[in-house]
Amino acid sequence: MYKLKATPLDIDGSFVFDWSPVVDERGLFSRLFCERELRDQCGIVRPFVQGNYSTNTMRGTLRGLHFLAAPKLEGKLVRCLRGEVQDIFVDLRLNSPTRLQYVNITLSAQNGKMIYVPPGCAHGYLTLSQEADVFYLVQEHYEKEFDRALAWNDPDLNLPWTRFDEYQLSERDRLAPEFSKFEVSDFLEI
């Protein structure tokens, strides 16, 4: 009845979850997270240690591409709770058969989709609605020394971001280096 349905995505170890809300005269009820379903359907056993919430008040806000450098293992469960975002993540893992490939998916309050971004991927999203709230659970505690940002517009990655006349970016994301500028030691081996 409340079960999350997992479907593998093109990057090894990544999934999209579809919701099955129960709707009645009061509104709806839906499961956002279930450790047992993640384990049984996807083999995800590493616990989630932190929950993060982001609110965005301008269409065209781009956050990312962010990742934690090796040896940190930051997998993420990401869901848009209000509005709509274009979510993109890129596989940066050494020896991965999908290295430097990406997933591009729309997450919205309306479609209720949630994704699992495996450790070793750079993740970001672009707000497609005027207001968008994003909630995500992570599998690693934040440590500033391992925090990295990858250029969202790296020409070698050629990511298909929705076009806006202007993007709202933090200084960190505006100045993030291209993939070729990183050290191999920043990336996880699989």
Query: Cis omega before residue 71 (within 30°)?
Result: yes
Q: Which position among 102, 116, 136, 167 bears the catalytic label?
A: 136
CA distance to 117, 131, 150, per residue, from 122 (Å): 9, 23, 7
Residues 66, 102, 116, 167: which is the catalytic one?
Answer: 66
Contact by Cβ (8 Å): 188, 73 = yes
Would you call 141 a catalytic residue per the annotation? Answer: no
Of 167, 123, 126, 127, give the one whose Cα is nearest residue 147: 123
H-only helix segments in the chain: 35-42, 171-174
Catalytic (active site) residue 123: no
Catalytic residue IDs: 66, 136
